[in-house]
Structure 1
């Protein structure tokens, strides 16, 4: 589900789950975590670049295999499995946010839900002119990534985007600080300035610049996900999507 390549001191992770718009299945999340942690463990890598194949960067939390529960016991099992998937996504986002190297995301097309959170978790955030973002997870009661988004665009704007399900285009993302650059498709290499510090210095600078709130972010997510009826809230959200745009209901947060 991902391809990994090396370009000098940069590792490029490319999501290849194009048939689902690179939606974050459990398997894709685990593959990304493994690849990111492998890059962090390699002292020769100073930059991690997250890209994707296909029309869209990442359409969010993959809902395609969800089935309605038949009873209380099955509902509890489904809710528990969903909670674990969200926890693993938060682990991926926190690992990127606190990585001891430069992180880069390159977006084309849709970056929705957890896909938008992936983008916001990176240092350098490049996008093509057709890119668009949405943060709809709050629509089914999940608190994920909002603080990191607020670091870029301000708390008030982040809350407005998250609570209204706003759609953000590339120019708005650039002007408000969500994106750091708008680039032609495939041109991210030309827009990536070489680092002038070694990796230990980069790691020390990042640690000094970012308060470590991983425990608080995880706790906020778990509290939101353990409210009763997680799978039903998601099903209600999917039904809303079906009424608006049926093709979105199966693959997006």
Structure 2
């Protein structure tokens, strides 16, 4: 009986990493269609997606008149773009950035004011946690390109990406404490994983303005880009990402899946997932081609 329950638990946890699986559903009191109807009432801005032939997608938060703050419609569009990326089998990488030299200032305050009840707040939290977790689990290596400000929900969004690149004058700031709340899109939990609990507590409770150099020192950012020009910085970010997504897409995607399972599953589950991924690659075109080339890896 105990073994049966353990097997069921392992299976259920591994299913969470499958594409399109939600963290929350009606069993958790989450009713997505009801949330959608609420969010549709708050238009403005857009989430734009460009899928390039080199396998890198460019996701743009586009609401520059409000520092790319998320309107309700943008939250819905973000989910649509994530679903599109889940179905992009040729994809290898993703860059998330904001239009007009700023990343994102969080949620549009008009929507925040209108959704002031605890019930609405929790429903919105579940919706965005579902979406950003699906983005984080994409079999694409993702980079947040932070230009200008990444505040509140924008700061949380950066933590859903695998890496963060910043321009010299950019700032990440979790301002939730000053708004009388805590991060609710999964940002606090992910921040702990990225920089550790002690530093995360400092950043959150002090509402620290984390500039690019401090972010690198903390391990929150991976590199400071040379240019602050929007187009040039985006080009730099793409060149930086290309070093990690070169080669066959199925291998890059397999590596990302293996890392996701190692992060989120118990060891036994993660090892099983590695075996499953290997089974899709061993003896495949990329593997056979590499063996045939007999390249020396000590160069």
The TM tier, using the shorter chain, reads 0.7 to 0.9
Residues 1:124 and 2:177 are matched in the alignment: no
After superposition, the C-alpha distances for 1:120-169 in whole angstroms (9 at most, x for unaligned) are 11112111011101112244233431121111111100011111211110
SS of residue paired to 1:87: helix
Matches within 5 A, 1:13-92: 13-67=59-113, 78-92=117-131
Query: Which residue of 239, 263, 269 maps to 1:210?
Result: 263
- Please tell me the root mean square deviation across aligned C-alpha atoms, in Å: 2.2
CA contact (8 A) 2:95 2:238 kept: no
Calculate the TM-score normalised by the size of structure 2: 0.63
Change in CA separation of 1:5 and 1:143 when aligned onto 2, cut-off 3 Å: closer
After superposition, the C-alpha distances for 1:179-219 in whole angstroms (9 at most, x for unaligned) are 11111232212222142462442243223331159xxxxxx
Count of residues in correspondence between the two structures:
206
Partners of 2:208 and 2:169 lie apart in 1 by: 16
Change in CA separation of 1:89 and 1:20 when aligned onto 2, cut-off 3 Å: same
Calculate the TM-score normalised by the size of structure 1: 0.74
Q: Extract unaligned runs of 5+ from structure 1.
A: 70-74, 214-253
Residues 1:182 and 2:228 are matched in the alignment: no
Aligned to 1:141: 181
Larger Rg computed on CA atoms: 2
CA contact (8 A) 1:46 1:101 kept: yes
SS of residue paired to 1:48: strand
SS of residue paired to 2:84: helix
Q: Which has the higher contact order (CA 8 A, sep 6+)?
A: 1
Change in CA separation of 1:82 and 1:169 when aligned onto 2, cut-off 3 Å: same
Partners of 2:202 and 2:113 lie apart in 1 by: 31
